[in-house]
Each structure stands twice: as C-alpha cells, then as structure tokens.
Amino acid sequence: MNFDNLIISNEGALRTITINRPEKLNALNRAVIKELSDALSQAENDKGVRAVILTGAGEKAFVAGADISEFAHFSNEEGQKLSAEGHKLLFNAVEKMGTPVIAAVNGFALGGGLELAMSCHIRVASDNARVGLPEVSLGVIPGYGGTQRLAQFIGKGRALEMITTAQMITAAEAHNMGLMNHVVPQVELMEKCVEIAKKIIRNSPVAIKAAIRAVNAQYTENVDGYSVEIDAFGSCFGSDDFKEGTTAFLEKRKPNFSGN
C-alpha cells in the first residue's frame, strides 16, 4: 500500500509511522486521516508488528492541527459529518487498537494534533513541545474527542480552562498534569519511544490486547469495566501465550510469545 502523506518504516516488530507534511506542519486533512486509518489498520492486522510509534516529520510539529482551509466553508451538517468520520476512521480506532501506539510528540500538537496524541496509548514529548486545543479561538470546539479525552487525563476543571482559554501549555506542564508520560530532550525523543516499544514487544501480545480492552472499558458509557476485566483475564488462560509465559516462569527462562 502506497501513502502520499506518510513514511512507514520497520525495525523488527516495531513499526514507525511518520506524518510527512512538514511544509504544512503535518496538519490533518481528510486525505491524511484516511491514510493514517489505513496504515494503522494495516499494522493492527500484521502479527509481525507488536508496537507502533506515531510521529510527525521535522522538528517543529507532531501535528499542528487540522487543515482549516478544508472546512472553513462547511455547513452544520458537513461539520457533524467531518467529526463523526474522524472519530470512526482514526481517533476512536487508534484508542481501540490492540497493538500499542506510542505518540512521539516532537513539537506543536494543537487541536487535532493533541487529539491524535491523546488517542494513542502512550505519549512521549520532546522538551520543546507545545500542546493545546485552540478551537474556540476559531469559533468552534474540539471535534475529534478532545472535550472527552482531555478531561479524562487532567480533570474537568483543567480541561475546561485549557479549552476555554485556547492557550498552549509546555511539555513540562503537560507532563505534570498527567497528559504526557515522559518529556525528554528532542534529540532523545525517538530513542525513548523505541526503548518503551522494546519493553512492550517482549511481552505477550494476547495479554496486552486484553489489558487495553479492559482499561478502555472504564471510559465506555454503560460498560462495567470490572466485568470486562474478568472476561479478558479469563480469556488469556486459553492462549498459547499464557502457557508459554507460565512455563517460562517455572523454567526460569525468558518467554517467547507467539501472539496466539
């Protein structure tokens, strides 16, 4: 599959997806969202891929926001469709992936860029990164899950302050609020993400997928997260990975997980 706006690279079981529109600060438009959806779906369905790093080309931006020129003339109905399609194709899909996705936030992550980073399972920022949801300064609100996920990460009051003031915060501030897992110097950003990915890759893909499903259940309306955890826990017992993991532990050796 060829991509006009992405660069795909592989290192063993790790796949890196780079949004390659540096002249537009990697802004999201419909074409980029569709390509990201396809590339991430491809990674999810490839048993050889155990972790994904998602980043932006250049040193200025992860994703500096949505491509405003694409929707500035939209009607109410067109705006709703744009949001709904984005949720389905990309933002909710990333969150539900069983393959962990690490966002390497290498600069500005604004609007849709921060929403994309929040959809990922783990976020690592360079120390020069700036993040925010400035949509109200354009007369609109975050439309790709920002109002929901930001409050989940940093609490209702802080989320409302960030959204209503439209202000950017530093990587350090985002880390202190729990929005970023780690902040590192820019030259160490990918190294840190690879380090985390390698730790993930050596563990059971079956168990990781079950854990993601159970954690996500906590934030799904009308779903009992504890019941999902119980079911997911039990399902692991029938897997080859469980047999390999427990056998390796008893034999005092490192496990070799198949992902089955």
Which of 35, 44, 95, 135 is labelled catalytic? 135
Say which DSSP state 120 is in. S
Angle at 188 between CA 255 and CA 121, to 5 degrees: 55
Give the Cα separation of 22 and 5 in Å (integer). Answer: 10
- Contact criterion met (CB below 8 Å) for 143 and 97: no
Closest listed residue to residue 177, CA positions, set 196, 150, 142:
150
Q: Let me know if 115 is a catalytic residue.
A: yes
Beta-strand relationship, 14-19 and 6-11? antiparallel
* From 35, 44, 95, 115, the catalytic residue: 115
3-class SS of residue 10: strand
Active site residue 23: no
Encoding tokens for residue 104?
């390497």
Give the active site residues.
Answer: 115, 135
